[in-house]
Structure 1
Amino acid sequence: MTNTRLSRALCKTVGDVIQGIGGHATLDATSGAPGDPPELAHHSKWKEWLFRAGQDPNTDSLQVLGNVLEEYMDTKPVDPADIERWKDGKARVEAVLAEDGLRYYRHGRVLPVGRVAETDEFSQVAAKMVPAMPGTVDEVVQIVIQGLRRAMHPLTYRRKGADTMHFANEYDVQDLLHALLRPWVVDVRAEEYTPSYAGKSTRMDFFLPAHDLVIETKCVRDRAHAKAVGDELVIDISHYAAHPGCKKLWCVIYDPEHCITNPEGLKDLEGNHNKDGREVKVKVFTVNK
């Protein structure tokens, strides 16, 4: 375990910025800071506790700092009146981190500038100062899919006077995905029909014939629809397995309102599926707002 000393200026700024967030008891319990919380006001407590974490050789002080910052840095206020103050607070934190040679990454990661976040594959790409060139089309498509939410953000919150875009249905998501894929994949076929299965054909959202890949997108409309998504995917898998060019099926579930209560349950559909001697390998991605 590597401990990093946290400057007094950094600890004070973080304490000042996060003093307005709720759930203090939960934050105390989940931060990973050493010992009992100091008997001080909220902002003074975190100034002292973070500084103490930076002095403790048995504590991962950057992980503690990330845990403390995560809720504030990653959660945009619902009330428009609070947004500017939130942005100012984020800017203060980012500036004081930079002064100490540190940088905050989403999901509560604080790292020295230039260091790669050693978590999942996509996070590693996101955390590098210079993005790595994907080695395969599969890697490109996976990065595009996992980056959909980030791609939506500048289009949803555009500069003054520009028309904003709202990703309210699967057609909106399909158009964005199509636009992001086209610079990388020469032949992206939209809405191509599958062979008939059980007397019915269906249209594939995207077919990449050179890569034996089909991409199916769904937008969760409400909680009732969320309960049916798994059944819809089962039917889709049977349809797409009948297509001779489909060896890989990647299902992209856009769930902007977090209606799916157990998105990990959809992962049960991943893996190899066989239909009439044909095999299709399924992957499922859930994208939230």
Structure 2
Amino acid sequence: MTNRPYLSMIQQSVAHDGITFEEITPDYLYKVKKGEKSFLMNDLEMGLNTSSSAKLAASKSGTYDVLASHDIKAIEHVFLLNKHSRFQASDPFQPAEDLFFTFNEKVVVKPDNGAQGKNVFKIDNLEKLKETLDYLFSLHVNVAVSPFYSSTFEYRVVTLYGTPKLFLKKERTNSWKHNLINGAASKHMEKERMPLLGEIAERASHALELNYCSVDILDTSHGLLVLEVNDQVMLENYLRDNPKEKENISEIYREAIHKRFETL
């Protein structure tokens, strides 16, 4: 068993189901076994999603393009290839500048495949835009540019094979971002909002062909807009703030593990 509390919770969720975890790399890589069947679990990744769908979800711009093609309302993310790429034929700052004005001189710039709100910047002037792009390109990442939407609340819906399993509500506090790791607060989720949020999340997961994911949705003056979709379900920070939810979260992982064995 692991020494990581969150991973331990996941392992214990199936402790009475005849499922065992054989440690390969401590606290990281395990062979999950049930009878004659087994699969590798890398950190929290248990392999319910195809590699192509997971790679697509990791791209902010790719995710938007697919959602838009399915008429799912989402925040536009436009891809900018790193200026140091051997495939880059022109200076990406010009299209970035065009987007800056198209999006009313308030944009969000981030790595196209970033996570947890790292290196995400709100920009309201061209000098800062160029400076930020140069910085991100120096990290050898491609960039996504999106319009900025002011939003007090963000919702997260966890889906398993298209069925909503958990609804979270987050309120920004000392930052314009909604990441719990950066200080956003978990709030009570109103039941009357769940049907519409669940429908959006279900449509998004099907569009991206993700069997197990979480869908982040911003509550804006333009309505509910999908911000991003995460192919790996991570609820550690939510559990820290809401310890009473441990049983519900454990059950989600338990069901996901059993679904994985059904694919073998």
Higher radius of gyration, 1 or 2: 1
Higher relative contact order (Cα pairs below 8 Å, separated by 6+ residues) = 2
Q: Going by fraction, where is helix more abundant, 1 or 2?
A: 1
Provide the TM-score with structure 2 as the length reference: 0.28
Provide the TM-score with structure 1 as the length reference: 0.26
Q: Going by fraction, where is strand more abundant, 1 or 2?
A: 2
